[in-house]
C-alpha cells in the first residue's frame, strides 16, 4: 500500500501539519497561471479554463508561542 501524497490539498495539509507549532509561515505565489475548474467531481466532468494575470499570494502563519 502506497503512502505517497497524490493530490495538492493533501500535500498542503501535510506540510502545514508538520510545520504547525514551529512558528512556521507558508507562502504560495503564482504568476500568470491557468486553472482547470471541473463542473463536478465525476471522471467525465467538463472543465472551464480560468486564466489569471498578475500575482495570487496565499500566506499561512502560525503565531502560537511554544513554551518549554
Give SS3 for 19: helix
* pLDDT tens digits for range 2-38: 567 677 777 777 777 777 666 667 777 888 888 888 8
CA 5 → CA 8, 39, 43, distances in Å? 8, 24, 20
Instruction: State phi, psi for 11 to the nearest 5 degrees.
Output: -65, -45
The number of beta carbons lying within 10 Å of the beta carbon of residue 62 is: 15
pTM here is 0.40
Q: What are phi and psi of 13, to 5 degrees?
A: -65, -45
Amino acid at each position: 500500500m502506497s503512502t505517497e501524497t497524490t493530490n495538492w490539498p493533501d500535500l498542503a495539509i501535510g506540510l502545514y501539519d508538520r510545520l504547525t507549532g514551529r512558528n512556521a509561515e507558508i507562502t504560495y505565489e503564482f504568476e500568470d497561471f491557468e486553472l482547470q475548474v471541473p463542473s463536478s467531481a465525476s471522471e467525465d466532468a467538463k472543465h472551464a479554463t480560468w486564466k489569471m494575470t498578475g500575482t495570487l499570494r496565499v500566506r499561512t502563519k502560525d503565531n502560537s508561542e511554544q513554551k518549554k
